[in-house]
């Protein structure tokens, strides 16, 4: 059963339960109020794991610690490399409604580095709880959606990130760095008939294409990109040159995605963000012609440019603009600080008329 089906059934069951409580004369008794208070701090969310593309990571142990000290396990034994921030397979973890996590602990193996890492990361429950409790606008008949997942990302050199996710939205809430672990290989692979080296080679060959495998062998693996991507600056991503922007989903180097509708889609508020690496945008030009464009920005270039424009000042405001006025033949982009405007090179896009 998929997540939406589970969600529908659980909500229907909850409504039925509340209706039964309401039919009793004791609906406002202290015991009922205690149930209501408990439910107000428990939310329907699912844990999952993620890893960078072409850098497979295997979780061996992992769990969230909730406010009340209870544990919610992560889907260990999963090998992930689907893309930084992209939720992996979720597992139905009881209870259906869970408290707010305050810490996550993971032991994992990085195939590309042939290394074990262990990280323990405190989570900002004061940030997570309002996200899980709230709703946001989505372009569906329902009109709104809820955050329903918490994703843990495992990266080289022990870097770990955590996002709260929902349809069209992924908000990073924490990032930290663990330490290399001298774990015993046979403890986690007791029945393996081949050597550690052969298993690693087999796994990398199976998961990576020939080009990605060759690139991996040419250069050492470091955590520099994910460390730099985790720097949040006061940044405003904007769409210019359109008569109207119906919706835009921005993608960011730290794995965040942000879907915006209506007026907010053209110029959202400036807030701490990593640099954008692309956008999916639906817009209209003069004459009412509608387009949908997929725009890609080079992530390492964007990170270097942010450092050049703002240096180490994370509060220095930056604006990244994608100009669609030349569509369908041309889409451009630029980045600017208060003092400097820099046109971006190598902007790639695909566009179709709607």
pLDDT in tens, the chain (354 residues): 444 343 333 333 333 333 333 333 333 333 333 333 444 589 999 999 999 999 999 999 999 999 999 999 998 878 999 999 999 876 666 788 999 999 999 999 999 999 999 999 999 999 999 999 999 999 988 999 999 999 999 999 999 999 999 999 999 999 999 999 999 999 988 888 999 999 999 999 999 989 999 999 999 899 999 999 999 999 999 999 999 999 999 999 999 999 999 889 998 999 999 999 999 999 999 989 999 999 999 999 999 999 999 998 999 999 999 999 999 999 999 999 999 999 999 899 999 999
The pLDDT value recorded for residue 8 is 35
Contact residues for 116 (Cβ-Cβ < 8 A; gap 6+)? 60, 107, 108, 109, 110, 180, 181, 182, 183
- Nearest of 76, 52, 51, 50 to residue 63 by alpha carbon: 76
The pLDDT value recorded for residue 90 is 62
The pLDDT value recorded for residue 54 is 95
The pLDDT value recorded for residue 88 is 83
Distance CA 297, CA 317 (A): 19
Tell me if residue 251 falls in helix, strand or coil: strand
The pLDDT value recorded for residue 27 is 34
The pLDDT value recorded for residue 75 is 87
- Count CB atoms within 10 A of the CB of residue 6: 16
Distance CA 333, CA 347 (A): 7
The pLDDT value recorded for residue 78 is 81
Distance CA 201, CA 193 (A): 14
Question: CA 262 → CA 265, 294, 327, 347, distances in Å?
Answer: 5, 18, 20, 24
The pLDDT value recorded for residue 11 is 35
The pLDDT value recorded for residue 24 is 33
- What pTM value is reported for the model? 0.86
Distance CA 32, CA 26 (A): 8
The pLDDT value recorded for residue 224 is 96
- Count CB atoms within 10 A of the CB of residue 175: 21
The pLDDT value recorded for residue 225 is 97
Distance CA 165, CA 188 (A): 30
Distance CA 149, CA 163 (A): 8
User: Hey, where are the domains in the chain?
Assistant: 1-40, 45-230, 231-353
DSSP-derived letter for residue 138 is -
Distance CA 282, CA 139 (A): 12
Contact residues for 201 (Cβ-Cβ < 8 A; gap 6+)? none
Report whether the peptide linkage leading into residue 95 is cis, meaning its omega lies within 30 degrees of zero.
yes
Task: Output the DSSP codes for 149-185.
Answer: EEEEEE-GGGEEEEEEEETTEEEEEEEEE-EEE---H
The pLDDT value recorded for residue 93 is 65
The pLDDT value recorded for residue 67 is 95
Please name the helix (run of DSSP H) or strand (run of DSSP E) that holds residue 63, with its range, or none: strand 57-66
Torsion from C-alpha of 97, 100, 105, 111, nearest 10 degrees: 70
DSSP E strands in 178-306: the ranges are 179-181, 233-240, 244-252, 257-261, 271-273, 276-284, 290-296
């Amino acid at each position: 059963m998929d997540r939406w089906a589970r969600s529908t059934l659980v909500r229907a069951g909850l409504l039925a339960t509340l209706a039964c409580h309401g039919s009793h004369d004791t609906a406002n008794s202290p015991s009922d109020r205690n149930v209501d208070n408990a439910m107000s701090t428990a939310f329907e969310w699912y844990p999952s794991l993620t890893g960078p593309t072409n850098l497979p990571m295997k979780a061996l142990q992992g769990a969230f610690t909730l406010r009340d000290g209870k544990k919610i396990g992560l889907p260990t034994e999963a090998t992930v490399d689907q893309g930084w921030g992209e939720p992996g397979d979720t597992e139905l973890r009881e209870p259906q409604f869970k408290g707010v996590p305050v810490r996550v602990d993971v032991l994992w193996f990085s195939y590309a580095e042939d290394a074990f890492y262990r990280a323990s990361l405190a989570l900002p429950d004061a940030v997570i709880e309002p996200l899980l409790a709230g709703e946001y606008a989505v372009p569906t008949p329902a009109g709104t959606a809820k955050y329903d997942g918490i994703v843990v990302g495992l990266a080289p050199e022990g870097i770990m990130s955590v996002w709260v996710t929902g349809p069209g939205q992924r908000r990073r809430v924490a990032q930290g760095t663990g330490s290399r672990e001298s774990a015993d290989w046979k403890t986690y692979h007791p029945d393996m008939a081949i050597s550690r080296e052969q298993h690693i080679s087999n796994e990398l060959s199976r998961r990576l294409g020939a080009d990605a495998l060759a690139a991996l062998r040419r250069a050492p693996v470091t955590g520099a990109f994910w460390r730099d991507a985790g720097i949040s600056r006061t940044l405003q991503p904007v769409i210019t040159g359109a008569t109207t922007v119906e919706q835009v989903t921005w993608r960011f180097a730290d794995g965040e995605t942000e879907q915006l509708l209506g007026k907010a889609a053209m110029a959202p508020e400036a807030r701490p963000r990593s640099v954008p690496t692309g956008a999916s945008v639906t817009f209209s030009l003069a004459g009412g012609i509608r387009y949908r464009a997929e725009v890609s920005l080079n992530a390492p270039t964007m990170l270097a440019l942010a450092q050049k424009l703002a240096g180490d000042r994370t509060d220095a405001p930056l604006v990244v603009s994608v100009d669609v006025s030349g569509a369908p033949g041309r889409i451009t982009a630029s980045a600017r600080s208060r003092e400097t405007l820099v046109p971006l090179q190598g902007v790639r896009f695909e566009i179709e008329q709607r």
